Amino acid sequence: MLTRLIYISDVAEIFEFSDLQSILEKAQKNNPTLGVTGFLVMASKRFLQVIEGPAENVNLLFRKIIRDSRHADCRLIEYTEIADRLFDQWSMRGIHPGLMDQRLKAFLQRKYGTDQRGGLAVPEDRFTAISFLYDVAHADAIVEGLG
Ligand SMILES: Cc1cc2nc3c(=O)[nH]c(=O)nc-3n(C[C@H](O)[C@H](O)[C@H](O)COP(=O)(O)O)c2cc1C
């Protein structure tokens, strides 16, 4: 049975860009074996991650992730059985506004708002978070559409 899990968490106080790289390296090594796909957005001092795959593997992975001290306070915002994956492009990918196409970043800021420091805001509620993730996953189409 396929499951989709989405959560939000707070990035640890002390977090280097190299931490993100090592998380992604580990994920890209482990996730294909688990049959897991998804991606990880890091913005506004938060992580927003979507994980799709066989239920037992998603559960196993999430148990590891919530214990990871590189973030805190994981809030589960979606946990549901799915017939098909929505996010199957990557075994895991890191998305960071600093590395985003500027037109995509501007589009997302207009649509989802900014935090107090003018950075891209990360939505907390379920439907907005799914819409945000869907937009990011289909960014190529958005950027083309924006010309
Ligand atoms: C925000 C965040 C997302 C993570 N995502 C994944 C992931 O998708 N896959 C993964 O294997 N580990 C991920 N990790 C790392 C795990 O917490 C854990 O360190 C890793 O799975 C341990 O792998 P190992 O048992 O092979 O040493 C993530 C950690 C954080 C903080």
pLDDT at 34 exceeding the cut of 80: yes
Question: Sheet containing 46-54: which strands, arranged edge to edge?
Answer: 71-82, 2-11, 46-54, 37-43, 94-95
What is the pLDDT, as a whole number, of residue 142?
A: 73
Q: DSSP of 11-30, one letter per residue?
A: EPSS--HHHHHHHHHHHHHH
Ligand 1 touching residue 91 (CB < 6 A): no
Ligand 1 touching residue 61 (CB < 6 A): yes
pTM of the model: 0.95
Ligand 1 center–CA 42 separation, angstroms: 14
Read off the pLDDT of residues 38-85 as tens digits, 9 standing for 90 and up: 999 999 999 999 999 999 999 999 999 999 999 999 999 999 999 999
Residue nearest to atom 27 of ligand 1 (CA): 26
What is the pLDDT, as a whole number, of residue 59?
A: 98
Read off the pLDDT of residues 90-121 as tens digits, 9 standing for 90 and up: 999 999 998 888 999 999 999 999 999 999 99
**Domains parsed from the chain with CATH numbers:** 2-146 (3.30.70.100)
